[in-house]
């Protein structure tokens, strides 16, 4: 289950979207496109696997900018925005425009893995086996997912050859923060057959 989006990670750590260690997770790589204000258009249908909440790296005119995917019209057209304070705010045109190349690299695999871990705290198996599972009246899931995912990402980066002390410090910070915030996760798990109250979770 996905309890946060790539844009939530960008708020904390925009640099991770350029990390070569995760280049294999690119959904779009250097596709030609046109960016007019907040309207992104490709002629190749390259945006097929892209979803709202993902991050586009747009490059053109000597500039590079991370943009949030606000909405998808089809595999050729998307609405994108510079970082906003709230999801209900109007999309904001970025600094990059005109003819650009776009790359989309998503951390949804890591987000999903942390979602499985949070579901485990509620005493249920991963929703990969049962897509009908949902969490009702969730509290704390988004931030727990953000910090858990960032901890997982920086564990990988810290293990790489030549990783510096800053990366290790970020790993330690996000691991501690994740351990703290997940103690406050609350919710009810619902699927087609079971409604289980889980207001008190295992505290670790």
pLDDT tens digit string along 110-136? 999 999 888 887 777 665 655 566 666
pLDDT tens string 34-60: 999 999 999 888 999 999 999 999 999
What distance, in Å, lies between the first and last C-alpha atoms of the chain?
21
| Residues 19, 77 within the same domain | yes
The reported pTM is 0.85
For the chain, the domain total comes to 2
Please give the pLDDT value at position 121: 78
Asked whether residue 25 is assigned to any structural domain, the reply reads: yes
| Residues 191, 162 within the same domain | yes
Asked whether residue 11 is assigned to any structural domain, the reply reads: yes
How far is Cα 204 from Cα 201, in angstroms, rounded to an integer?
A: 9
| Residues 77, 41 within the same domain | yes
| Residues 144, 174 within the same domain | yes
Please give the pLDDT value at position 198: 41
Would you call 123 helix, strand, or coil by DSSP?
coil
- Six-digit token string for 84: 């906003």
Q: Which domain holds residue 182?
A: 108-198
| Residues 96, 42 within the same domain | yes
pLDDT tens string 61-98: 999 999 999 999 999 999 999 999 998 999 999 999 99
Domain end among 78, 105, 132: 105
Would you call 74 helix, strand, or coil by DSSP?
coil
At residue 58, φ and ψ (nearest 5 deg) are: -100, 130
CB 53 within 8 A of CB 72: no
């Amino acid at each position: 289950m996905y309890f946060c989006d790539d844009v939530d990670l960008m708020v904390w750590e925009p640099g991770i979207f350029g990390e070569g260690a995760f280049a294999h997770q690119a959904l779009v790589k250097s596709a030609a496109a046109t960016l007019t204000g907040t309207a992104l258009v490709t002629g190749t249908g390259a945006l097929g696997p892209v979803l709202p909440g993902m991050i586009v790296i747009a490059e053109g005119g000597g500039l590079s900018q991370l943009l949030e995917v606000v909405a998808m019209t089809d595999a050729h057209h998307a609405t994108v925005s510079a970082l906003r304070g709230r999801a209900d705010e109007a999309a904001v045109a970025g600094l990059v425009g005109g003819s650009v190349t776009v790359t989309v690299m998503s951390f949804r695999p890591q987000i999903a893995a942390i979602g499985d871990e949070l579901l485990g705290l509620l005493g249920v198996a991963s929703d990969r086996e049962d897509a009908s599972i949902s969490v009702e009246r969730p509290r704390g899931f988004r931030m727990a997912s953000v910090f858990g995912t960032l901890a997982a990402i920086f564990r990988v980066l810290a293990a790489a050859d030549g990783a510096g002390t800053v990366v290790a410090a970020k790993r330690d910070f996000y691991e501690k923060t994740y351990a703290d915030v997940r103690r406050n996760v609350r919710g009810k798990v619902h699927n087609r057959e079971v409604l289980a109250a889980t207001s008190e979770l295992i505290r670790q």
